[in-house]
Amino acid sequence: MIVSVSDSAAAFRRRWCRTCFAPFSGVKRRGLGLGLTISRIDCANHGGDLSVEPLGEDGGAVFVLRLF
């Protein structure tokens, strides 16, 4: 099963897409920066993968969840 979700928000820049799964790399003021890290680990623990690709120079990203 493959699920993809896109968002055109300017906050999703190429640089952010390269580091978004690193622990403590969140951008929310009150967050810990662990949400995407934990999500990717959970996907891997269930035989899947979670990835992100930038949409363009103006921002935006596509998240892809693959479960095998």
Q: How many domains does the chain have?
A: 1
Per the CB < 8 A criterion, the answer to whether 48 and 66 are in contact is yes
More confident call, 4 vs 32: 4
Give residue 12's pLDDT: 81
Task: Quick: pLDDT tens for 5-49.
Answer: 999 888 788 888 889 999 998 777 788 889 999 999 999 999 999
| pTM, entire model | 0.81
Amino acid at 5: V
Furthest C-alpha separation in the chain: 35
What is the domain range of residue 34? 14-67
Q: Is residue 5 part of a domain?
A: no
Here the contacts of 41-45 (C-beta below 8 Å, separation 24 or greater) are 43/67
Q: Is residue 8 part of a domain?
A: no
